[in-house]
Structure 1
Amino acid sequence: MPDLSGSFSMNKVSKFQGIIWAAVLITLWIANLAYWIDADFSWSNPWIYVAVLIQTHLYTGLFITSHDAIHGVVYAENPSLNHAIGRFCTILFAFNDYSTLRAKHHLHHAHVNTNEDPDVHQGPFLFWWFKFIWQYVTWKQVLAMAITYNVLKIWFPMWNLILFWEAPAILSTLQLFIFGTYLPHRGEHAADNKQQSRSQSKNHIWAFISCYFFGYHFEHHAHPYLPWYKLPKAKDESLA
């Protein structure tokens, strides 16, 4: 695999590109939720389920933005603002704890696919899934979600909250786990695979739809300073 360290130096990351993408994803997430949270709908309307999938994908975008903030690439010029954006995205994403995510994600990169890796638990899918969730879900988060739900229920219909606020968060967590952890890290990896991860085949459209290009996971571990929208170029370079 060619050395990409020069062609993808931090100097070539546009100064405000990460903030612009963060603003776009946050705005779309708020706009889609605001439209549907009080809308009349019929269960027979197929666009309802499309809207749920869109909101799920936007939730994933929030998490990916917080992930990029963890790596310092949402706004590298100002670390405090960079981490503030990441923290805000994790709050929107079901009151996740940014500090916990940040600490454990750096452990994942430092000790990938070892006993010290908090994300990788080789074994059956459900076993791995539950252990993965157990690492990050806290009673404070559950309490915050419960309180917020009961407050919002004063003004908004129950099913709207479930369909467009709660369910997409759960589905997004599953999406992130499958495409960002389970598929890239499951099974054995060659001893000379320093990243202990694999990538999906090149298909930029599917890679974006599935998980904002994090199916190109070998490239992410090889170049963790790359924001999500730079991973397709890394994939192209790795195949050159």
Structure 2
Amino acid sequence: MVSSASSFKPAQIGNRGLYFAAAILLSWLGMLIFLLNFTIDWQNPLVYLFVLVQTHLYTGVFITAHDSIHGVVAPNNKRLNDGIGFLCATLFAFNNYNRLRQKHHLHHKHSATHDDPDYHDGNPGFLAWYYSFLKEYISVIQVVLMAVTYNLLKLWFPMENLIAFWMVPAVLSTFQLFYFGTYLPHRGEHHNPPHNARSQKLNHITAFLSCYFFGYHAEHHAWPYLPWWKLPEARERRNDGL
């Protein structure tokens, strides 16, 4: 039995969204500064671990922008909420926050239909859908800004560090976000309109490591006012049929 959205109301978020946002942004920035000055030895397994850690933090930066779109980072201060969303979207490869917000609300309104900008008609394989997804969101100005930023950062940091710890994690993060937040939840047939989304099995460790609990995607569509760190509670309650 799946409960209706009206049967689950979130506790007051207060300033906790700001604390989570600050933790993610400071962790991402601190790790980036450390890694851009890190001496790379390709035989050192820490290099590859650091790439994965920075990828996960990049994903957290985007998730924070996403929660700002839903107004739950600073729910009592719209200007601050949108300011954090704008900052996070910009740090994530110069994404346009207002454009992201418009398209994401369309995704929720028309989930897995022809009017959903995240959906690829015909349910193709992962790579074809991923390519379509990127075309929907990446603009020429973003590519230009990334190229300019890269060439400026090269004046102070080694090229291989920029590639390994700034560029590669950003690209891997798009795979992570797309695979766990769009492809798995929305591919194939659905039986829960209008959300047209499914969730991964209940496991908070893998759900956090995979994509900040966005594998609990049916819950996100049922209760989009919940921040990412409240999704485990929603998943538990749906799993228990409450």
TM-score of the two chains, using structure 1 as the length reference: 0.96
The equivalences for 1:1-240 within 5 A come to: 1-5=2-6, 7-9=8-10, 12-121=11-120, 122-190=123-191, 192-240=192-240
SS of 1:18 mapped into structure 2? helix
Separation of aligned partners in 1, 2:98 and 2:199:
28
For residues 35-61 of structure 1, the C-alpha deviation after alignment (integer angstroms, 9 at most, x for no partner) is 010221200000110000000000000
Distance 1:100 1:230, change over 3 A: same
How far residue 159 of structure 1 moved from its aligned partner, in angstroms, is 0.4
Preserved contact between residue 91 and residue 97 of structure 1 (Cα < 8 Å): yes
For residues 172-192 of structure 1, the C-alpha deviation after alignment (integer angstroms, 9 at most, x for no partner) is 0000000000000001112x4
Separation of aligned partners in 1, 2:97 and 2:230:
23
Structure 1 regions of 5+ residues with no counterpart?
Answer: none
Report the more deviating stretch, 119-128 or 152-161: 119-128
How far residue 6 of structure 1 moved from its aligned partner, in angstroms, is 5.2
How far residue 83 of structure 1 moved from its aligned partner, in angstroms, is 0.6
**Identity value in percent:** 53
Preserved contact between residue 8 and residue 226 of structure 1 (Cα < 8 Å): no
Separation of aligned partners in 2, 1:220 and 1:6:
14
For residues 2-23 of structure 1, the C-alpha deviation after alignment (integer angstroms, 9 at most, x for no partner) is 23535424xx232100000000
Give the residue type in structure 1 aligned to 2:199.
S
Separation of aligned partners in 1, 2:43 and 2:141:
36
Give the residue type in structure 2 aligned to 1:158.
M
Separation of aligned partners in 2, 1:187 and 1:193:
13
Give the residue type in structure 2 aligned to 1:205.
I
C-alpha RMSD of the superposition: 1.0
Give the residue type in structure 2 aligned to 1:144.
L
Report the more deviating stretch, 230-239 or 121-130: 121-130
For residues 103-139 of structure 1, the C-alpha deviation after alignment (integer angstroms, 9 at most, x for no partner) is 0000000001111000011212211111100011011
Give the residue type in structure 2 aligned to 1:185.
H
Separation of aligned partners in 2, 1:136 and 1:75:
25
Separation of aligned partners in 1, 2:84 and 2:47:
30
For residues 190-214 of structure 1, the C-alpha deviation after alignment (integer angstroms, 9 at most, x for no partner) is 2x44310100000000000000000
Preserved contact between residue 199 and residue 219 of structure 2 (Cα < 8 Å): yes
